[in-house]
A and B are shown apart, each in its own frame.
Chain A
Amino acid sequence: SQKIEQNSEALNIQEGKTATLTCNYTNYSPAYLQWYRQDPGRGPVFLLLIRENEKEKRKERLKVTFDTTLKQSLFHITASQPADSATYLCALPTNAGNMLTFGGGTRLMVKP
Chain B
Amino acid sequence: DTAVSQTPKYLVTQMGNDKSIKCEQNLGHDTMYWYKQDSKKFLKIMFSYNNKELIINETVPNRFSPKSPDKAHLNLHINSLELGDSAVYFCASSQGFQENSPLHFGNGTRLTVT
Contacts and interface: CB of A to CB of B under 8 A. Distances in A.
A44 B41 contact: no
Contacts, number: 59
Given A98-B96, A98-B101, A43 B4 contact: yes
Contact of A43 (B42, B45, B92): B92
Of A93, A98, A102, A105, which is in contact with the most chain B CB atoms at under 10 Å from its CB?
A: A98
B15 interface: no
Contacts of A51: 100
A43 B90 contact: yes
13 contacts: A36-B103, A41-B108, A43-B90, A43-B105, A43-B108, A89-B43, A93-B100, A96-B55, A98-B97, A99-B33, A100-B45, A102-B35, A105-B41
A98 B92 contact: no
Given A41-B108, A44-B105, A31 B100 contact: yes
Interface in B60-97: 90, 92, 94, 96-97
Given A87-B41, A89-B43, A98 B98 contact: yes
Nearest to B42: A104
Contacts of A112: none
A90 B104 CA distance: 15
B55 A97 contact: yes
Chain A binding surface, main DSSP class: strand
Interface of A: 31-32, 34, 36, 41-46, 49, 51, 87, 89, 91, 93, 96-102, 104-105
A98 B90 contact: no
B8 to A, nearest CB: 14
A101 B103 CA distance: 12
Contacts of A41: 107-108
Contacts of A97: 55, 97-98
Nearest to A43: B105
